[in-house]
Amino acid sequence: MTVLVTGASGFLGRNLIVALRRVPGAVVVAVGRDTSREEYEAGLARADVVYHLAGVNRPPNEDDHEAGNAGITRDLCDTLRRLGRMPKVVYASSVQVERGNAYGDSKLGAEAALAAYAAEAGAQVAIFRLTNVFGKWCRPSYNSFVATFCHQITRGLPVTVDDPDARVDLVYVDDVVEAFVAELQGGPTTGTSRPCPRSTTVTVGRVKVLLEEFRDMRTTLVIPDLSEPFTRQLYATFVSHLDRSDFAYQVKPIPDDRGFVQELLKSRSSGQIFVSRTNPGITRGNHFHDTKIEKFVVVEGEARIRFRHVLTGETVHFDVSGEAPAVVDIPPGYTHSITNTGARELVTLFWASEIFDPQNPDTHREVV
């Protein structure tokens, strides 16, 4: 199956091409600004499916909308007629067609050209009216305000919000791409209209607040609630906009004569993760918790983890090693300790079921 993608170097195009590479048997012809007319027509001459994503959003002149959207679509249809070809055409239109502006009118003109082509040639056409698509590789100050905010916040630039209570419908690029790729397997055989992939309605102010939480996570270490798909999608988008020099960041160690502890991640709903380095012969712990649960994982070195029930006095211990990492649960009501029994530094990864609160630490000193 030969699949031609116009606008291949754009936001939607790049995401779609990556997905099409995973489709068995798909031969992708990418058409961008640098593609010659000859290459373009040669691709159309053998294409089984055409994803028509090329167009303009914010041209220098309002009049350029017509040529950059409706005009290039009429040219596509005319070329297919001349070549005697009738591939399936999947078109990225916009909900702006219903709003009577220059951009929407030009998209509506493109839809009309495709509908006429479908009626005359008997070809399948699938038109998606998209709204506010966001995701990785989205261009700031062009494709989406989400991309603009991500670019500004990751670089410490000021963010201006005219109306934080304005509500917008946002669609994630992966959901759009999934719907596009499904058209290769057929899709509806009648009509041209396709439903917009699932969207999330949110205020502009809420988007800004979430993005600022993502930024602050590097210092607070507190990750937001990622149980909602939209928050996960927005976080993925935020990270994709990081400057390459900012991929890595430091977390502050807490040293003492035993070694040091380093907090890594915190979650209000899922607790926190931290790591410790412990010198040979040193013991950590000797305390118990009423409610807090912990998990220990030795990732380097050797250790003995000891337990004693604070009421019955029953004891148990486990010898663990980074050579065969094991997860050790620390139940409440057991005072516990971990001792570096090896000749080198002990590295242990910890998870606690709640973020440490100095005002309510739920940590009671008692030697095992």
Active site residues: 103
Provide the terminal-to-terminal Cα distance of the chain, rounded to the nearest Å.
68
Residues 304 and 247 sit within 8 Å (Cβ to Cβ): no
CA atoms within 13 A on the CB side of 188: 12
- Say how far apart CA 14 and CA 176 lie, in whole Å: 12
- Say how far apart CA 104 and CA 110 lie, in whole Å: 10
How much of the chain is helix, strand and coil, in % rounded to 5?
Answer: 30, 30, 35
* Backbone Cα Rg of the chain: 29
Amino acid, res. 227: S
Q: Compute CA 347 distance to the chain's CA centroid, rounded to the nearest angstrom.
A: 31
- Say how far apart CA 325 and CA 97 lie, in whole Å: 58
Instruction: Check residue 344 and report its DSSP letter.
Output: S
Question: Across the strands, what pairs with 51?
Answer: 5, 90
Structure-block tokens of residue 149: 């905010």
Q: Is 146 strand, coil or helix?
A: helix
Long-range contacts of 279-282 (CB under 8 A, 24+ apart): 279/340, 279/345, 279/346, 280/340, 280/342, 280/343, 280/344, 280/345, 280/346, 281/339, 281/340, 282/258, 282/339, 282/340, 282/346
